[in-house]
Chains A and B, each alone.
Chain A
Amino acid sequence: MKKTVIGKRLTMFSVVMPAVILVFFLTITGRAEEKPGAPVPGNHSQASPQAVPQPTASPQPANQPNVSKPLSATPQQTDNANAADAGKETRFGIPKFFTTKPPLTPGIFPCSQCHAAMTPNKQRRELGFHQDVVLNHATKQRWCLDCHDANDRDKLKLANGDLIPFTESYFLCGQCHGNIFRDWKTGIHGKRIGYWNGEKQYYLCVNCHNQHSPKFQPLKPLPMPARPHSGDVVKGTTSVDIEGKKIYIPVYK
């Protein structure tokens, strides 16, 4: 008698519980569906705008990004004179803030000082002058006069024959390195110094890369950190100068 009662209860339990669980889950999922914009914890999908953390206590919620809004070039970021043609095809034009100068060899520019009196020799050859220039940049398909204009040596020549000044050499580089050029304009490629929310210096391609041999040369690393439990191993400090900035490095015993 007793056994059958328990048996009945168990049967009822086994029938009722899944139903309860089902209802519970439906309620939860129903709730989740009501809030489609709710962030899913743990879902940090790569490169997704949702991955940008929202401020928990932002004083100005109106400033939060509207991710669906198409990005447009802000007038502050484009130089209208230069970007007229470049800006059309991309979201961003040439950044306005760079003030860096191309590293022209002192005393050698303008090139017309010497070249005005010379007749252009378009023959590919070992140069008698400019021996410091080592071309290691797609040498098979390139020679001096592909980039330097044969008739106006103070200018660079684009593939379409347009002449550009040395200060705008990025147009020349951008002919082949289009994706890098695009990243450089947005600030992803290259180096910026100055103020993150104000005027900044934007390095030109040629400030970091040697245009004739653009691959970076290996560098000597600065000292490694002191090993733990190594006692008092730092003898003192010394300074090194990096791009005009003095930084202090340890000297180990």
Chain B
Amino acid sequence: MDRRDFLKGAAIGMAAIAIPPVNASASYLETFFQKYYREMTPEDKKKVVERLEKEYREKYHKDIRVKTTEAIPGVLYGYGLDLSRCIGCRRCVYACVTENNLSRSNPQIQYITVLQFKNGEKWVTDLEESEKYYNPETVPAPDHFYMPVQCQQCEDPPCVRVCPTQATYKAEDGIVVVDYNWCIGCRYCMAACPYGARKFNWGEWNVPTDQINTNTHYLGNRPKIKGSVEKCTFCIQRVREVPGRYTACVEICPVGARKFGNLLDPASEIRLLIETKRVFRLKEELNTNPKFYYFFSL
């Protein structure tokens, strides 16, 4: 075979690859050529939302609303968690799973991990010593305490720095979000995150149809794509509204350990607790500058 024949063959081969499969719908092509969320015009977003909502209706026979609500100007979300109060009951974990439409199995995805520590043992300096699979009859177990960990919404997020496609980025209101359609599934961000906050969709998204939360956001709890990374978004579909609801984990906590508010508002509970309580942020030495403040009220 001479060079010319080889090139001809290669050209034909490439062309064959480029032609979409026979059953390709317009929706498939639109998905394939969809733009990066941050570069979309409002019209682009509207089109994408219409396409997604149609897709979801066909797939799940349910009207799932996909919002593209923008950040509220002058808002920087912050979170407080009272470690003196947390009893490790895991109510927050499943309120989050329910609110954010997280895959129930294969693999199971949960944004919040509650860690159990023994009194007097190694603690924040060595999270490897913690117990994630504790299961006593009742909590709090004697001589143990608990620390829930989720995305810390860093001001200098290492996950964003490593993303080769910029699919994950920090929004104006401080929430680190993922454009699931732009994510290529390389999982660099998962390796970069010091908090283990990012989860990967190894399998198809699976939530029983009757359990789907139909109030969704493009950057939040909409049905996920296999091979994309997801994470806590401070319930972006709830909080980016005026008035916006508290996050699901705040509302479920039976001991009122979880606090949420605007860091730029001096009268918000998050600002007051930062100013008056003993506060620390997880792995501060990494200079990730989290907006998630652990505190002790006792």
A197 to B173, CA, bound (A): 14
Which chain B positions have C-beta within 8 A of A233? 105
Interface of B is mostly: loop
Q: Is B90 an interface residue (CB 8 A)?
A: yes
A53 to B265, CA, bound (A): 13
Q: Are A65 and B271 in contact (CB under 8 A)?
A: yes
The count of A-to-B residue pairs whose CB atoms sit within 8 angstroms is 205
- Stretch binding the partner chain, chosen from B8-16, B28-36, B40-48, B274-282: B274-282
Q: Are A245 and B251 in contact (CB under 8 A)?
A: yes
Which chain B positions have C-beta within 8 A of A42? 287
A150 to B76, CA, bound (A): 51
Write 8 A-B pairs (CB below 8 A) sorted by A numbering.
A52-B263, A196-B260, A219-B139, A225-B108, A226-B107, A237-B104, A247-B98, A250-B108
**Residue of B95, B172, B208, B280 touching A59 (CB-CB under 8 A):** B172
Interface of chain A residues 221 through 251 with chain B (CB within 8 A) = 221-227, 232-234, 237, 240, 242-243, 245-250
A249 to B94, CA, bound (A): 6
A66 to B106, CA, bound (A): 49
Q: Is B74 an interface residue (CB 8 A)?
A: yes
Highest count of chain B CB atoms <10 Å: which of A44, A196, A240: A196
**Residue of B244, B254, B278 touching A196 (CB-CB under 8 A):** B244
Q: A44-B284, A55-B264 are in contact. Are A222 and B94 (CB under 8 A)?
A: yes
Q: A47-B274, A219-B87 are in contact. Are A198 and B94 (CB under 8 A)?
A: no
A53 to B245, CA, bound (A): 23
A199 to B136, CA, bound (A): 38
Q: Are A47 and B260 in contact (CB under 8 A)?
A: no
**Residue of B78, B105, B134 touching A221 (CB-CB under 8 A):** B134
Q: A219-B138, A224-B132 are in contact. Are A196 and B246 (CB under 8 A)?
A: yes
Q: Is B110 an interface residue (CB 8 A)?
A: yes
Q: Is B135 an interface residue (CB 8 A)?
A: yes
A193 to B134, CA, bound (A): 28
Q: Is B253 an interface residue (CB 8 A)?
A: yes
Q: Is A191 an interface residue (CB 8 A)?
A: yes
Which residue from chain B places its CB closest to the CB of A199 in the assembled complex?
A: B243
A234 to B208, CA, bound (A): 13
Which chain A positions have C-beta within 8 A of B277? 47, 188
